[in-house]
Structure 1
Amino acid sequence: MTKTHTRSLLITGAASGIGAAIARRCAGPGTALLLHTGTNAGALDTVAADCRAAGSDTITALGDLAEPSTAAGLVEQARKSFGRIDQIVSNAGKAAKAPFGAFTQDDLMRDLASMPGAFAALVTAALPDLETSPQGRVVAISSFVAHVHGKAGTLFPTTSAAKAALEALVAALALQLAPHGTTVNAVMPGFTRKQGGGHLAVSSDTLSAAIAATPTGRLTEPGDVAAAVAFLLSPEAAQITGTTLRVDGGLTLG
């Protein structure tokens, strides 16, 4: 790592929506970024160009995080390019709306592999760095569907299971890394407006119901989530660990 890099950050699912907003929010001089997407290379290149323009040393990578080797490969690429990895944002994942009777065992296993499984693989590969970094941070992007079910007519059984498991892993890792000064947290968005070609989990007909179900009367914006993530990655959040920060406009209050 060159002297100009004060931290290196890996963000998965960074081509659009929340992941792209996080990348742009965190970009700047002194921050080295590895931005990942599954297949959306063109959109990721656009985000990467914006991050470079903001002053970040930025590289990109493609890969299916449901495949066990992908996560370790991302961590190794960050090490080779930047010397170490200080922070991870585990964001990649899609909402699956299929109810019981429609989803298969393979569907469930894939959601578990691509969200909590990928998170576990990423942090396991990065453990030596996370245990020694002076600014170690891990943030996982969860979802309101881990806590409430059927809001505004939506039901996501396999995604709910995956995100609940993700939050459990966050708590366990937070305890393990706390003695090393590395914090581990989750951010839980509510109904979020998708941007830049991101996966749309609900139809446009559902959006008005989603807004009505949210006490603040609006959808969560990707920038709302990015601001929360940027704070948790910052030195000011050094005493916050093992928590799930709700950025949902009060959606899960009742």
Structure 2
Amino acid sequence: MSGEIQRVYLVTGAGSGIGAAVCRRLAGSGIGLLVHTGSKREKAVAVAEECTAKGAACQVAVGDLAEAETAGMLVSDCQKHFGRLDGVIANAGFADRRTLQELDEEGLDRSIDVILRGSFRLAKAAQPLLAQSPSGRIVTVSSFVAHVFRLDGDAFTASAAAKGGLEALTRSLAAQMAPQGITVNAVVPGYVQKDAISGRSSMDDGRWKQAVARIPLGRLGRPDDIAAMIALLAGPEGSYITGQAIHVDGGLTL
């Protein structure tokens, strides 16, 4: 299989939403994809089947990125199934809307473990293989909540802390990995609507209307809007972009 593959991508949190859209964008002949999900294997399998139909070679992996061994397992899976790794899309994460007084230390730890520590472990485990690629890429997925703080009651205390740390980590990794030809960037989505397989949103209709009112372009982002930027950074066109946090948010952070 490895002789047929030109590029291999590991996409975390790929069972739905942005991660699934990234897989669809990247899929094609000569592409290997490791489609990761935290727990919902059936959704990841469905995404892998779509991408296989587009010509990609796909494998599915399940694992909680809060657990220390998961990142290494995912990188090992890429080596085992494809013999290489060219790009890591660190998308796994979740939103925690709790305020300071509502949030406990367990909740804070969970956000940091999945979003920040999970991305750190992925980058560390993946670096040796990415350094062997002619064009190694890491793209992390941050969030507007690390930049916009007056949200009418939605505080995102834990999410803001974890995503802010993720952007700082991204820049640090970009500087350290540049001599190996590896680019490292963050994409920062704004409000993104749920896709059909993501399930029910935790925001009610009223909150979604408030969100749209904050966006200069007057609409929510689609998962594919974010995936388009990620695919650019992860592909040949992103060869001279590194250490950046690129906002894809309809003008929310203007």
- TM-score of the superposition, structure 1-length normalised? 0.97
1:70 paired to 2:81: no
- Per the alignment, residue 168 of structure 1 pairs with 168
1:227 paired to 2:228: yes
- Per the alignment, residue 188 of structure 1 pairs with 188
- Per the alignment, residue 247 of structure 1 pairs with 248
Query: Structure 1 CA distance, aligned partners of 2:199 and 2:60?
Result: 18
Q: How many residues align structurally?
A: 253
Following superposition, the deviation at residue 127 of structure 1 comes to: 1.2
Query: Structure 1 CA distance, aligned partners of 2:47 and 2:239?
Result: 28
| Distance change (3 Å), C-alpha of 1:198 and 1:139 | farther
Give structure 1 regions of 4+ aligned residues with deviation exceeding 4 angstroms.
none
**Does the CA-based 8 Å contact 1:10-1:33 persist in structure 2?**
yes
**Does the CA-based 8 Å contact 1:183-1:241 persist in structure 2?**
yes
Query: Structure 2 CA distance, aligned partners of 1:180 and 1:122?
Result: 17
**Does the CA-based 8 Å contact 1:153-1:206 persist in structure 2?**
no
1:101 paired to 2:115: no
**Structure 1 letter corresponding to 2:145:** V
Following superposition, the deviation at residue 18 of structure 1 comes to: 0.5
Instruction: Structure 1 unaligned segments of length 5 or more: list them.
Output: none
Following superposition, the deviation at residue 105 of structure 1 comes to: 0.6
Aligned 1:63-212 pairs, distance under 5 A:
63-151=63-151, 153-195=153-195, 196-198=197-199, 200-212=201-213
Q: What is the alpha-carbon root mean square deviation over aligned residues?
A: 1.2
Aligned 1:207-218 pairs, distance under 5 A:
207-218=208-219
- Give a deviation string over 1:222-251, Cα, whole Å, max 9, x none: 010000001001111111000011000010
**Does the CA-based 8 Å contact 2:99-2:154 persist in structure 1?**
no
Following superposition, the deviation at residue 56 of structure 1 comes to: 0.5
Q: Name the % identity.
A: 45
Instruction: Structure 2 unaligned segments of length 5 or more: list them.
Output: none
| Aligned-partner SS, 2:216 | coil
- TM-score of the superposition, structure 2-length normalised? 0.97
